[in-house]
Amino acid sequence: MDAQRVDMFLMANANNFESIDLPYIKKELSMMDDDKWTRIQTTQFKNPTTMLIVSLLAGTLGIDRFLIGDTGLGVGKLITCGGFGVWAIIDWFLIMGATRKKNIEKFNML
């Protein structure tokens, strides 16, 4: 893979992943063939900042967890109204990391 294309991808998507995962992503992208490259380019990764805003606004309903794919946790938050508010407040600090973790899982599946 062309190093310039890899760098462009990392510049556009670096905030969607943990910083410790970036060297791994760079290595995987450099070894990737063109078929996988087109799939990775069309993949939508969740923005952690957007998920934080959703969590602040509708975290008690579990919408933040539904959006990142944690359906079970989303249902739990929905039924308990965000753990009576406590779980929702804790998620304000955890949701960005959970989003980045889901993004790297999605990257590894490609």
Contact 98, 67 (CB under 8 A): no
Listed in sequence order, the residues at least 6 apart from 27 whose beta carbon sits closer than 8 Å to its beta carbon are: none
Instruction: Compute the distance between CA of residue 31 and CA of residue 83 in angstroms, rounded to an integer.
Output: 44
Which residue reads 């960005």 in tokens?
96
Domain ranges of the chain: 3-42, 48-109
Apex 32 CA angle, 28 and 36, nearest 5: 115
pLDDT of residue 3: 87
Instruction: Compute the distance between CA of residue 62 and CA of residue 75 in angstroms, rounded to an integer.
Output: 7
Q: Which amino acid is at 87?
A: W
pLDDT of residue 110: 84
Cβ-in-10-Å burial (0-12, 13-18, 19+) of 66 comes to middle
pLDDT of residue 58: 93
Q: Which residues of the chain have pLDDT under 50?
A: none
Q: What is the pLDDT of residues 61-80, one digit of tens each?
A: 999 999 999 999 999 999 99
Contact 63, 54 (CB under 8 A): yes
